[in-house]
Amino acid sequence: MPNVQSLRCKECGRDFPQEPIYVCDFCFGPLEVNYDYDAIVKNISRESIQDGPLTIWRYDELLPASRDNAVNIGAGMTPLLRADNLGKELGLNNLWIKNDAANPTHSFKDRVVSVASTKAVEFDFDTIACASTGNLAGATAAHGSKAGMNTMVFIPANLERGKVLGAAVFGSVVLVNGNYDDVNRLCSELGDDRRWAFVNINMRPYYSEGSKSIGYEIAEQLGWRAPEHVIVPVASGSLFTKVYKGLNEFAQLGIIDSANTKMHIAQPFGCSPVATAFLEGQNHPKPVVPDTIAKSLAIGSPADGYYSVGIANKTGGSGTVVPENEIAEGMKLLAETEGIFTETAGGVVISTLHRLAREGMIGPDEETVALITGTGLKTLEAIEMAVETRTIEPTIRSFDEVVMEAALQ
């Protein structure tokens, strides 16, 4: 892409060629894509974006690959829904839900993998792989199929069955005894040994850029403005940092007037190193051993935790640790008010939103976006004990006795 100048170390600022690399050789800092914004500003406008496809590739001027060669299964342009019913419940008059469960494999991971798989083809890899807490596995396998590549996805053996089967239908899934950090360590070793495109390891600088499209879409769908608050579920922290980056790139390029959004970290009690670091006034999250029902957030050593804490502090945001028993409650609350069935990560977000509203950290009329990153159909186990059903005989009498009488009690 002509708009990409190099990869650049986020710590020491050294530049590197556009290759499948992710760590600075000098200081071991993470690499990210370095754009030529002077060139981009000449070619991008609200009109040019609106003329593009209804996918993340409408923003390809700000992505490290071109829409012309994209591995595209339709990721992006998911609904931004006004949440009046939930807002009324929480005392918020200007609440929106960004429902990324509407992506092709039902999570936001389609965005990042569309970019990473496009670059993998460009770099002439024949195998695409990942370490995953579940959603990334399905997205990687699906895009690998679309690209005609071999796929090899690695996930913890104790993941929800919906995520296991939702990935296995597309390609090879390897269950690893251990948590995500064990899986990631194995994949890092394999990445040194095999010439594979690991989307969230050696392809990470390109992969992570796909998450910026959520920020772009929020601004576009709100009528070309940034909201006052965004609540984001945090695992590695990459999504959090890139939503922030997307909003600020739009402001830098004059697509929106400004981006003064307060960024809020949402994490479950059983894996909350980033939120805890924020709350304790620490810059560097301390690694933890995950033990949470929100398995998609179960990353105990978050790669972008440090940067997420910094952004939350810089923007006047917050960090919330959600008790495990409130996760299913958050899932139910969203379902019962807005008809959206979210996975456990979304339950963490809604419970965080509830707390922020209750504590006055979000004002009643402040424009707020809660990010839902995946569907509850993948995490049915988490909600099973929180809902109830009734069984009747096929008669009106049985219905009245079992259902109607119970409803009147």
Taking 90 as the threshold, does the pLDDT of residue 281 lie above it? yes
Using the predicted structure, report yes or no on whether residue 380 has a pLDDT greater than 80: yes
Q: Residue range 46-74: average pLDDT?
A: 97
Q: How confident is the model at residue 172 (pLDDT cuts 50, 70, 90)?
A: confident
- Tell whether the model's pLDDT for residue 236 goes beyond 60: yes
Q: Under the phi-then-psi rule, with left for phi > 0, alpha for psi from -120 to 50, and beta for the rest, what region is 148?
A: left
pLDDT bin (cut points 50, 70, 90) of residue 171 is: confident
Q: How far apart are CA 346 and CA 325, in angstroms?
A: 14
- pLDDT at residue number 199: 97
pLDDT at 408 over 90: no
pLDDT tens-digit map of 21-31: 999 999 999 99
- Check residue 224 and give its pLDDT: 98
Residue written as token pair 């690209």:
147
Distance CA 55, CA 50 (A): 11
- Model pTM? 0.96
**Ranges 13-22, 156-165, 238-247, 355-364: which has the least confidence:** 156-165
Are 153 and 130 in contact by the 8 Å Cβ rule? The answer is yes
State percent of the chain over pLDDT 90.
95
pLDDT in tens, 289-323: 999 999 999 999 999 999 999 999 999 999 999 99
Does residue 209 carry a pLDDT above 90?
A: yes
Q: What is the pLDDT of residues 324-376, one digit of tens each?
A: 999 999 999 999 999 999 999 999 999 999 999 999 999 999 999 999 999 99
The whole-number pLDDT of residue 219 equals: 98
Confidence of residue 210 (pLDDT cuts 50, 70, 90): very high
| % pLDDT > 70, the chain | 99
Which residues on adjacent β-strands are paired with residue 322?
268
Using the predicted structure, report yes or no on whether residue 407 has a pLDDT greater than 90: no
The closest of 249, 257, 241 to 59, measured between CA atoms, is 249
Instruction: Dig out the tokens for 375 from the structure.
Output: 């569907």
Which amino acid type is present at position 291? D
Task: Give me the pLDDT at residue 406, please.
Answer: 75
| Choice between 79 and 387, residue whose per-residue pLDDT is larger | 79
pLDDT at 409 over 90: no
Quote the strand ranges of 147-193, DSSP E.
150-156, 172-176
Looking at residue 2, what is its pLDDT?
66
* CA quadruple 95, 261, 366, 56: dihedral, nearest 10: -30
Residue 270 to residue 290: CA distance in whole angstroms: 6
Residue 384 confidence class, pLDDT cut points 50, 70, 90: confident
Quote the mean pLDDT of the chain: 96
What does the alpha-carbon distance between residue 366 and residue 364 come to, in Å, rounded to a whole number? 6
Contacts of 283-290 spanning 24+ positions with Cβ under 8 A? 283/309, 283/310, 284/309, 285/309, 287/181, 289/179, 290/179, 290/180, 290/181
